[in-house]
Chains A and B, each alone.
Chain A
Amino acid sequence: MMSDEAKPDVETERSRKVRQRRLGDQLRRIYEDVTTEPVPDEFLNLLEQADQSSNKK
């Protein structure tokens, strides 16, 4: 009896989890689309410049 009543909940819960996992995958994908882009040279150049000028001090 108990398990019969619990069944739809288990189903709903499972489908919610599947959707949640899919959302997580997609969110990570949006984020990783940026982290896997090559870093523009400007960034490393700027960091290098900052390092050089702090060495001079």
Chain B
Amino acid sequence: MTKPTLDDQAFKAELADLIPHLRAFARSLCGNATAADDLAQEAMLKAWKARESYQAGTNLKAWAFTILRNLFYSEKRRSWRRQQLDPEVAEATLVASDNTSSAIDLLALRNGLTVLPEDQREALVLVGAGGLSYEEAAEICDCAVGTIKSRVSRARKALMEILENNEARYSGDKAISASEAFDDIMRQADELSRDTPEHARN
């Protein structure tokens, strides 16, 4: 037992500082804010209980994210599973921004994130938003660094396509109103999540 450990109070303070990140990562996995907070709380308590297995000097965020992610995947039957784009979140996205086109972009991106395969989404969120290195993300997701890199790049490509289509759709002289764009994106989200075969009969 020569591993350096943090004392409990120091650990608690560092864990408390991480709560916003646990919530953000959980939100990206769950979609629904209430379910995400539930998951983040359980992960926080699990991390606290496991504090003796944390090695001081290593990345606490990556360590805690691993716990959160394992919890998420080990309890698939819980209500944590990501649902389609949450209409409340969608609406808040539009309301929060005074710039309609950037709000529509964000909304399309949120929508795009919900339709990405889970493994790609988590890789992109960890590396692209959460500030983790490829190596740390690989550890969190329990896969090779190369796998993370390819997931991130596929996710990025898919989302960039979504944003480009979005641009073509909602910009230009005849820019449609925010509420029309909202309805349209929600309809797309609905269709994608239902996994409809094709619009065979137009």
Contacts and interface: CB of A to CB of B under 8 A. Distances in A.
Interface in A21-37: 22-24, 26-32, 34-37
A23 B16 CA distance: 29
Size bracket of the B interface: 20 to 34
B121 to A, nearest CB: 11
Size bracket of the A interface: 20 to 34
A23 B28 contact: no
Contacts of A26: 105-106, 109
Contacts, number: 80
B201 to A, nearest CB: 35
Q: Which of B20, B28, B49 has the most CB of A within 10 A?
A: B20
Interface string B105-135: 1100110010000000000110011100000
A2 interface: no
Contacts of B20: 34-37, 39
A28 B129 CA distance: 4
Query: Considering the complex of A and B, which 5 residue pairs feature the smallest CB-CB distances, nearest first?
Result: A31-B129, A34-B24, A35-B20, A27-B129, A27-B128
Interface of B: 8, 12, 15-16, 19-21, 23-24, 27-28, 37, 40-41, 44-45, 48-49, 105-106, 109-110, 113, 124-125, 128-130, 156, 159-160, 163-164
